[in-house]
């Protein structure tokens, strides 16, 4: 399992744990996640980054940390290349290639070297193209997608795009859903909103990117405040400083009074408390390939307002278990929030139907079985199915 810079640490950790429980012989090639050093160890996973896993454990500011992580990654890649020269794994399951857009994509070179040495390469696509870059890198990623032995994506919609836009053979693609995070942590009492008459809480959580529509949400929230409903919008997560500054400025420009923004790394334990405290979780995305945040909201059985996007429609049904809105229409978003905030019966009904999806341990067991089948397929140990693995 390859996630050399711990780009998607929780996904790598949960999937690796599920595969180990499925009796897959697995080595996780990753450094520690510097913001949550227990991310892997808490799930019984030992890391094998190559040689060094020290930079993330040092108390460094952002720029020095990135520079030293680059040099550490280059050293680890060199050591792994020597190991692959002696003995190469049967399968390398790549989660992310963060260096791919660089002029010296060392991680891609390592994968290509491993393939020459006989390893089968499986790539999980978390983002079809890098966020907010339009078609800039499409040729590069098309070449990557056509060069691996198998692809795992999280949505039939993404599979269709891989075939139509990137020329990938349908038989090389397996659709395996994205699993949930943090559902397995101990249940904690809600942090806020524990007494009758307390404001209702709408939660947005994640890493801020333009495509995630937080600016649209703030525009819509102005109408929610004007409606007189006793509710607060909590925006929790991290992001580039310039994007966060823009959101702070937007709150001031709109004179919003009931918006709480908490921009920092939130521990999994605190994150779960915030989800459990929320009455509604909102996903106002303009576009999406997959969403770990949605998977968490599903696992925790929350009432949801989300953009009406194909990936979301695979799990969410408008007015059945969520409210779906035009991703470009702030008025629709505002109306949906007001409707759900006013109707506790609807919130309870949506939450119960989301909980009935049983998006927890059973999901990861199924994901592990499907992933193990892909490993068998590329090694010629089983006959590949044309049906998506779900």
3-state secondary structure of 269: helix
Instruction: Please give the average per-residue pLDDT across 217-244, as a whole number.
Output: 96
Identify the structural domains of the chain with CATH numbers, from first to last: 9-179+362-378 (3.40.50.2000), 200-359 (3.40.50.2000)
Q: How many CA atoms lie within 13 A of 30 on its CB side?
A: 32
The pLDDT score that the predictor gives to residue 275 is: 92
Residues 36-46 pLDDT 10s = 999 999 999 99
Residue 100 has pLDDT above 90, yes or no: no
Q: Is the pTM of this model over 0.75?
A: yes
3-state secondary structure of 353: helix
CA 269 vs. chain centroid, Å, equals 17
3-state secondary structure of 35: coil
CA 209 vs. chain centroid, Å, equals 13
3-state secondary structure of 183: coil
Tokens of 39: 């991310």
Residue 195 has pLDDT above 60, yes or no: no
The pLDDT score that the predictor gives to residue 192 is: 53
pLDDT band at 384, cuts 50/70/90? very low
Residue owning tokens 């003995």: 87
Residues 261-302 pLDDT 10s = 999 998 998 999 999 999 999 999 998 877 788 888 998 999
Instruction: Please give the average per-residue pLDDT across 183-194, as a whole number.
Output: 66
pLDDT band at 386, cuts 50/70/90? very low
Instruction: Please give the average per-residue pLDDT across 122-151, as a whole number.
Output: 87
């Amino acid at each position: 399992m390859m996630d050399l810079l711990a780009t998607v640490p929780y996904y790598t950790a949960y999937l690796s744990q599920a595969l180990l429980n499925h009796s897959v012989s697995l080595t996780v090639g990753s450094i520690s996640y510097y913001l949550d050093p227990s991310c892997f160890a808490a799930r019984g996973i030992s890391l094998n980054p190559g040689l060094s896993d020290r930079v993330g454990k040092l108390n460094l500011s952002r720029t020095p940390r990135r520079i030293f992580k680059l040099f550490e990654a280059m050293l680890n890649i060199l050591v792994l290349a020597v190991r692959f020269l002696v003995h190469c794994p049967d399968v390398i399951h790549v989660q992310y290639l963060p260096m791919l857009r660089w002029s010296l994509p060392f991680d891609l070179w390592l994968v290509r070297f491993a393939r020459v040495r006989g390893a089968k390469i499986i790539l999980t696509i978390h983002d079809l193209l890098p966020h907010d870059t339009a078609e800039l890198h499409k040729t590069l990623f098309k070449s990557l997608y056509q060069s691996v032995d198998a692809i795992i994506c999280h949505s039939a919609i993404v599979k269709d795009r891989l075939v139509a836009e990137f020329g990938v053979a349908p038989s090389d693609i397996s659709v395996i859903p994205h699993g949930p995070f943090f559902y397995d942590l101990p249940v904690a009492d809600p942090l806020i909103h524990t007494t009758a008459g307390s404001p209702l809480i709408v939660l947005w959580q994640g890493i801020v990117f333009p495509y995630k529509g937080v600016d649209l949400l703030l525009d819509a929230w102005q109408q929610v405040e004007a409606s007189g409903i006793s509710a607060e919008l909590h925006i929790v997560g991290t992001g580039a400083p310039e994007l966060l500054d823009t959101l702070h400025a937007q709150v001031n420009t709109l004179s919003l009074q009931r918006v709480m923004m908490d921009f920092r790394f939130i521990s999994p334990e605190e994150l779960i408390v915030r989800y459990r405290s929320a009455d509604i979780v909102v996903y106002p995305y303009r576009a999406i390939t997959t969403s770990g945040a949605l998977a968490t909201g599903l696992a925790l059985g929350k009432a949801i307002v989300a953009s009406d996007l194909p990936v979301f429609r695979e799990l969410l049904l408008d007015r059945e278990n969520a409210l779906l809105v035009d991703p470009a229409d702030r008025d629709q978003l505002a109306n949906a929030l007001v409707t759900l905030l006013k109707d506790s019966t609807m919130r309870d009904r949506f939450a119960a139907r989301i909980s009935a999806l049983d998006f927890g341990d059973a999901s990861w067991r199924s994901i592990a079985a499907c992933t193990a089948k892909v490993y068998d397929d590329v090694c010629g140990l089983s006959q590949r199915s044309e049906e998506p693995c779900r």
